[in-house]
Each structure stands twice: as C-alpha cells, then as structure tokens.
C-alpha cells in the first residue's frame, strides 16, 4: 500500500466526546497525536445526541413554533461546533484525518491513503441506533436520532418505539411542540431508574398529554396510507404519521476490522479490562464503543483516563467511580451512585434510606413548585447513592457526585452552610436527617448536656 506513514505517540479513532478529550489531553501534554474521523467532528453528542435533543426540549419549553425550534437546534449545534472543530484541533497541534479508519495489523491503522503506526491507539468510535428485530421495521419509513433533527414537517402524531431516555426526552420535546405522542415500551419506561422517581416523571408526562404504553412489546410494523402503524404483541394497533425508533444502541465496530489487530468484541462493544485496555494491550477502547454506560461525561472521563495510562503509564480503573446520569424530562431525574435497589443488593441491612421531599423545601414552596424528592442511600455515615427528582435535579445532584467520588462522609454535607432559601438545601436536610435519630433519639447527648449543666 502506498501513501504516507505516520508514527505518532497516539492515534485516536473517532472525534466524538471520548476521542476529542483523549486527543486534546494528549497533545497538550506534548504527545504527537493523529485523530481520525470518518463522519462529523463532535460525534453523536454534538450532531445527533445531547446538544440537539436538549435544544429541542428547550425550544419547546420556550414556546417556539416548529420551524423556529429546528432553527434553534441548528443554531445551538453551530455555536458549540467550533469547540470540536478540525481547525481547533489542528490549532492544538493534532493531525486530523477525515476518513474511516480500520486496522490492517496489530500495530497498524489505515485511514484513507495514510498508514498510521502509533505507539498506542484509542478506539472511540461511539454507537449507532440499534434496529430492534421487529418484522416490517426494515421497510417502514422511520426516524432515528440521526435524522430526527433534520428539517422535516411537524408530525401530527409521533409514535416512539422505546421508552428509554431518548424516547422519553423526545416524547416531551415533541409534545411541547404541539405533536400528539405515543410511546410504546416493551417493559417499564425509564426501566433503569428508581421506580418511584421514574413514576413521578411518567405521571407528569402523561399529565402533559403523552400516551405511554408499558409492557407492550412491539411485534410488527406496517406502512399505512398516511404513515405508519405499530402492532403490539397483544394485537393493539397504534397509528401515527411518523415513527421514531429509540430502542437502544449498538457499538460502531463494523468498519474497524478488529480481528486483524487481535481485538475481541461482543454485542455491547470492545472487550476491555477495568483499565480500558482491549485484548491488544496497545489499544484502548473508550466511551460508547467500550460497552459501558453510554454518556458523554463517561466518554470524556475515559478520554482523560487513557491519556494518563498511555502517556504516564499510570494505573487507571473505571470500576470505583460513581457515575451520574440525568434524564432531562420535566421534572428532571438525576442519579448518582447506586439506586435504592442496587444499594440494597450491595449493602443489605447496613443500608439506610432517607427521603426528603421538596414540599419541605422553602424555596420550592415560594416558587409553588414542590414536586419531587431526594432519596439518600447511606452506609456507615457515607453516601453510596442519591436519587433526585425535581426541577434542576441534574445541577442539584453535583455536590453528591463530589462527595461520593472524593469518599466524603455525610458530615461534609451537614457542616456546609447552604444559602437560604435554595432548592439545594434539600441535600443538607437529607444528610442531617441521617444524624437526627442518632443525636436526638439516643440518651447519650442528653446525659452529657445534663452533666455539663451541673458544672460551674
């Protein structure tokens, strides 16, 4: 094969959330970096994921019309795009190649005409919408997150196959923009979340007019005269003029020729150890391609970790850090660390669960927005999980993410002075409630106070 041969310290395949973090970190530490991107710089999050979905939600909340909402989505992407652009990365000193990469051997990657023989490589190729095995779906016209934000007419009734985070967030966005929406979910909608928190979100979505059908596996899809129909296993037929398939993801590995490099993978992604190394020790896999939790902040965190490992040869591990997630529904649902059920499995009787509602939060009362609660899972004076549902939950959960990643005790939260009146006071109140029975329910503090009161 002719063409140039590059021998960088690091070759990163994929310029999404994970790949960009790895490339930016490595080049700024003095490494030579080649970044290969076959599609759009910025990957899913910027172009077809987080950014357009949150922009569409916000456009609906602001009461924009359909055309203005789609224009706002394009504007949001365009405003953020320079940060992820080829020009910015070349400015940092990264060699950017716009081509699809594939392995040609254990230590060689081909990208267009260029051959790359890096010291270390990172697979950061992300994921794509999975097509569920529903007969008829292959021929029925449908949207996925890759086409949902393109210019298109407003659907009168949108059917959504799948009630995970994409299905639920996009149901809310379309409802806000005036569409009738039906979500059809095989199991429980938001099935990964704490059931009580998910129920609150789903109740509010139903109250806003979204139809959500649970325990309704879709068995068949058909094209109708005016659009599409989904037929559930129980025979119920649901018709709409557009269909969004949001039924999970599959890793983007087909183009990579992994076997040539001795890299093993399964349906979830590249097989990696807890240090993100694949079965080829010189090749890491990060983000959605690595088969773990699929979030931008996880991909970005992975990007930082592999720089640490590849450049400084420092040990890294991914199995000890609590990973937060937020579903941007109304109200928001945020989770840090373990859910109650997970904490119960992990800690059994040692687990204490404390629940505080926003109806006891003065700011929420003054705003007349008291829906939601915080659930704290604590073991021996330390938080192991927090579920927060309510307006701004994604921001309110951050002190708990800090507390858990830094291994802080609940006293770190109780000793903080929380400004009054803020919704964030709910955290201090929950942490305080952990100590209430210990302090006021035990005879010892009272005995000590009595004893001391006898002293001059």
Ligand X SMILES: Cc1cc2nc3c(=O)[nH]c(=O)nc-3n(C[C@H](O)[C@H](O)[C@H](O)COP(=O)(O)OP(=O)(O)OC[C@H]3O[C@@H](n4cnc5c(N)ncnc54)[C@H](O)[C@@H]3O)c2cc1C
Ligand Y SMILES: NC(=O)c1ccc[n+]([C@@H]2O[C@H](COP(=O)([O-])OP(=O)(O)OC[C@H]3O[C@@H](n4cnc5c(N)ncnc54)[C@H](O)[C@@H]3O)[C@@H](O)[C@H]2O)c1
Residues that bind ligand Y (CB under 6 A): 132, 134, 161-167, 169, 184-187, 191, 217-218, 246-249, 294-295, 325-328
With respect to ligand X, which residue has the nearer C-beta, 48 or 434?
Answer: 48
Q: Is residue 288 annotated as involved in ligand binding?
A: yes
Closer CB to ligand Y, 148 or 410, in the complex: 148
Least separation, in Å, of the C-beta of 382 and ligand X? Answer: 26
Of 157 and 325, the one with the shorter C-beta distance to ligand Y is 325
Whether residue 168 is annotated as binding a ligand: the answer is yes
Give the gyration radius of the chain's Cα atoms: 25
Q: How far is the CB of 246 from ligand X (least distance, A)?
A: 8
Q: Is 97 known to sit in a ligand binding site?
A: no
181 to 9, 168, 210, 240, 308: CA distances (angstroms): 50, 10, 5, 9, 46
54 is in an annotated binding site: yes
Cα–Cα distance for residue pair 50/67, rounded to 1 Å: 20
Choose the contact partner of 304 out of ligand Y, ligand X, none; CB within 5 to 8 A by kind. none
- Which residue, 169 or 425, is less far from ligand Y as judged by CB? 169
Measure CA of the first residue to CA of the last residue in the chain; give whole Å.
93
Q: Is the CB of 232 or the CB of 346 nearer to ligand Y?
A: 232
Determine if residue 291 is labeled as part of a ligand binding site: no
H-run or E-run covering 22: helix 17-28
Task: List the single partner that 31 binds among ligand X, ligand Y, none, CB under 5 to 8 Å by kind.
Answer: none
Separation of alpha carbons 37 and 269, rounded Å: 19
Residue nearest to ligand X (CB): 16
Q: How far apart are CA 391 and CA 411, in angstroms?
A: 26
Sheet containing 228-232, strands listed edge to edge, beginning at the edge strand earlier in sequence: 218-223, 228-232, 237-240
Give the C-alpha separation, 248 to 246, whole Å. Answer: 6
Nearest to 25 by CA among 43, 10, 40: 10
Residue 289 interacts, among ligand X, ligand Y, none and using kind-specific CB cut-offs from 5 to 8 Å, with ligand X
> Minimum distance between the CB of residue 79 and ligand X, rounded to whole angstroms?
17
Coil, helix or strand at residue 425: helix
Cα–Cα–Cα angle for 90, 96, 100, rounded to 5 degrees: 160
Total residues belonging to the chain: 456
Shortest Cβ distance from residue 213 to ligand X (Å)? 21
Least distance (Å) from ligand Y to the CB of residue 391? 16
Q: Which does 9 bind (CB under 5 to 8 A by kind): ligand X, ligand Y, none?
A: none
> Is residue 248 annotated as involved in ligand binding?
yes
Is 164 part of any known ligand binding site? yes
Instruction: Name the binder of 16 from ligand Y, ligand X, none, CB < 5-8 A by kind.
Output: ligand X
The answer on whether 127 is annotated among ligand-binding residues is yes
22 vs 16: CA distance, rounded Å: 10
Host H or E run for residue 212: strand 211-213
CB of 45 to ligand X, least distance (A): 4
List contacts with ligand X (CB under 6 A).
13-19, 36-40, 43-45, 49-50, 53, 100-101, 124-126, 145, 166, 252, 255-256, 287-289, 294-297, 299
- Cα–Cα dist 325/394, whole Å: 8
446 marked as part of a ligand binding site: no
Specify the 3-state DSSP secondary structure of 384: strand
In the chain, DSSP finds a helix count (H) and a strand count (E) of 15, 25
Residue among 250 and 409 whose Cβ is closer to ligand Y: 250
Minimum CB separation of residue 243 from ligand X in Å reads: 15
165 is an annotated ligand-binding site residue: yes
Q: Mark 269-284 as b/e (b = at least 16 C-beta within 10 Å).
A: bbbbeebbbbebeebb
The runs of H, that is alpha helices, within 261-338 are 296-312
Nearer to ligand Y, 36 or 218 (CB): 218
| Partner whose footprint covers residue 252, from ligand X, ligand Y, none (CB < 5 to 8 Å by kind) | ligand X
Decide whether 49 or 385 has the Cβ nearer to ligand X: 49
| Alpha helices in 234-295, H assignment, sequence order | none
Name the minimum Å distance from CB 414 to ligand X.
30
Q: Which residues are annotated as a binding site for NAD(+)?
A: 162-169, 185, 248
Q: Which residues are annotated as a binding site?
A: 54, 125-127, 162-169, 185, 248, 288
Q: Which residues are annotated as a binding site for FAD?
A: 54, 125-127, 288
């Amino acid at each position: 094969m002719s063409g140039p041969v590059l021998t960088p310290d690091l070759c990163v395949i994929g310029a999404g959330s994970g790949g960009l973090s790895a490339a930016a970190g490595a080049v700024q530490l003095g490494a030579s970096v080649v970044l290969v991107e076959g599609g759009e710089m910025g990957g899913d999050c910027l172009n077809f994921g987080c950014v357009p979905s949150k922009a569409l939600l916000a456009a609906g909340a602001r009461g924009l019309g359909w055309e203005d909402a789609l224009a706002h989505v394009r504007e949001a992407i365009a405003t953020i795009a320079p940060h992820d652009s080829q020009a910015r990365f070349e400015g940092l000193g990264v060699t950017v190649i716009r081509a699809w990469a594939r392995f040609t051997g254990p230590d060689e990657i081909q990208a267009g005409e260029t051959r790359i023989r890096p010291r270390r490589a990172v697979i950061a190729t992300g994921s794509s919408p999975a097509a569920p095995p529903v007969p008829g779906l292959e021929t029925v016209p449908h949207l996925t997150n890759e086409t949902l934000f393109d210019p298109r007419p407003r659907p009168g009734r949108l059917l959504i196959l799948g009630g995970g985070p994409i299905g639920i967030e996009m149901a809310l966005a379309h409802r806000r923009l005036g569409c009738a929406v039906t979500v059809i979910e095989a199991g429980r909608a938001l099935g990964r979340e704490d059931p009580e928190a998910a129920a609150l979100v789903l109740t509010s979505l139903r109250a806003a007019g979204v139809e959500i059908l649970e325990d309704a596996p879709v068995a068949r899809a058909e094209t109708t005269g005016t659009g599409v129909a989904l037929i559930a296993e129980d025979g119920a037929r649901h018709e709409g003029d557009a269909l969004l398939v949001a039924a999970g993801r599959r890793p983007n590995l087909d183009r990579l020729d992994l076997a040539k490099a001795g890299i093993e993978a399964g349906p979830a992604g590249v097989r990696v150890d807890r240090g993100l190394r694949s079965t080829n020790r010189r090749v890491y896999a990060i983000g959605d391609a690595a088969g773990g939790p699929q979030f931008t902040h996880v991909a970005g965190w992975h990007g930082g970790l592999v720089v640490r490992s590849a450049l400084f040869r420092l040990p890294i591990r991914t199995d000890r850090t609590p990973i937060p997630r937020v579903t941007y529904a109304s109200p928001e649902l945020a989770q840090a660390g373990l859910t109650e059920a997970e904490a119960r499995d992990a800690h059994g009787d040692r687990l204490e669960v404390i629940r505080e509602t926003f109806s006891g939060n003065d700011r929420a009362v003054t705003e007349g927005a008291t829906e939601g609660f915080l659930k704290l899972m604590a073991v021996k004076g330390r938080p192991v999980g927090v579920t927060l549902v309510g307006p701004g939950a994604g921001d309110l959960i951050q002190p708990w993410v800090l507390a858990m990643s830094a291994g802080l005790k609940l006293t770190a939260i109780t000793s903080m002075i929380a400004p009054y009146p803020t919704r964030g006071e709910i955290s201090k109140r929950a942490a305080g409630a952990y100590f209430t029975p210990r302090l006021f329910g035990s005879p010892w503090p009272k005995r000590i106070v009595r004893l001391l009161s006898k002293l001059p």
